[in-house]
Amino acid sequence: LKNGAGTTTNNSLSYSVSVAAGTATVTLSGGTLAAADLQTLIDGISYSNSSQNPSTASNRVVTITSIQDSGGTANGGVDTAAPNIGSTVTLVAVNDAPVIANLDADNPSFVVGADSPVKLDAGDAATVTDVDHSNFGNSGFLLVSQSSSGSIATGDLSFDGTTVKAGDDGVVTSGERVTVNGTDIGAVTTIATADGTIRDLLKITFDNGAATPALVSTLLQNLSYTETLTNTAIGDRRFDISVYDGEESSSVATVTLTGAAAPTITSATYDWASGQLRVTG
């Protein structure tokens, strides 16, 4: 509630709201109501809260403090009563899962055996948001898994080694601390080289209060895949990525990397007259 005034849609009652020291006083006046209509009005009073992260430290108490009719006080009449009828509203926290945006269905490409890191975040910058968690330090984690839908990944996950580091570089090793822009956000608790069968490849556990959604977003933006084998199959590599906030996990974002064979040279001829090298592949 906030300070304001207006007229109700039904019955044309005037209302005013005054908020002071955490207490809102709502006054309804004017109009003509029979006793039954007034009863309906009181029975219809409800409470709602549009905040995604409201305080649950205390209950909300709604009290009808005064009712005045239009009969007046002539001849000893009494037109005002103070029923002080209260209703207590208890708010129960409901966790909202984190949300990963701008990552699901990204489709970067790479050359098999090129030994060159390719970022999984290929489109607009990936973001992580959570309306009721300012950080994921309460046992939250990032999980990157090999998709069960035909993935043939046989490489490694890494970071850029500058913005995001595992230890002192971008090579990820179990037990290393992960930093984003120089801020320690957690530890590598699972790391594996993809071999087409291992499911969970990378898990970073956020064990302090520094792992904010903004820093985890940067983490995702700098996550890369490298495949060094030259004799592996051509095709897609699929990864499922999710963020757990300590209570609930985000929906899975699936990234598909499309692998292509490195170009081959079958012959090369140099033309001395033109100074051109002709390559056939």
pLDDT digits (tens, 9 = 90+) for 221-255: 999 998 877 667 777 889 999 999 999 999 999 99
Contact 224, 159 (CB under 8 A): yes
Q: What is the pLDDT of residues 163-192, one digit of tens each?
A: 999 999 999 999 999 999 999 999 999 887
User: Which range among 3-17, 82-96, 97-111, 150-164 has the greatest average pLDDT?
Assistant: 97-111
Selected residue with higher pLDDT from 173 and 53: 173
Confidence band, pLDDT 50/70/90 cuts, at residue 131: very high
pLDDT at 235: 79
| Whether pTM exceeds 0.75 | no
Q: For residue 241, what pLDDT is reported?
A: 96
Instruction: Provide the pLDDT for residue 118.
Output: 95
- List strands edge to edge, sheet with 156-159: 118-119, 223-226, 156-159
pLDDT at residue 220, rounded to an integer: 98
- How confident is residue 211, by pLDDT bands cut at 50, 70 and 90? very high
Confidence at residue 193, expressed as pLDDT on a 0 to 100 scale: 66
Across residues 2-23, what is the average pLDDT?
Answer: 86
pLDDT at position 252, please?
A: 97
Looking at the DSSP bridge assignments, the partners of residue 190 are 203
What pLDDT, on the 0 to 100 scale, is given for residue 41?
A: 80
Sorting pLDDT into bands at 50, 70 and 90, what band is 196?
low
* Confidence grade of residue 137 (pLDDT, cut at 50, 70, 90): very high
Q: Which two tokens stand for residue 67?
A: 């009712």
| CA gyration radius, the chain | 32
Percent helix, strand, coil in the chain, to 5, is 5, 40, 55
At residue 269 the predicted structure's pLDDT band, cuts being 50, 70 and 90, is confident
Examine the pLDDT at 197 and tell me if it is beyond 70.
no
Query: Which pLDDT score is estimated for 38?
Result: 82
**Average pLDDT for residues 104-119, to the nearest whole number?**
90
Mean pLDDT of 126-134: 95
What distance in Å separates the CA atoms of residue 33 and residue 248, rounded to the nearest whole number? 49
Q: What does the mean pLDDT of the chain come to?
A: 88
CA distance 193 to 155: 6
H helices of 44-166, in order, are none
pLDDT for residue 113: 77
Residue with tokens 């940067």: 218
How far is Cα of residue 23 from the mean position of the Cα atoms in its chain?
Answer: 33
Nearest to 104 by CA among 124, 118, 87: 124
Calpha distance 247→29 (Å, rounded): 46
DSSP assignments along 170-215, one per residue: SB--TT-EEEETTEEEEEEEEE----SS--EEEEEEE-STT--HHH
- In contact, 209 and 137? CB cutoff 8 Å: yes
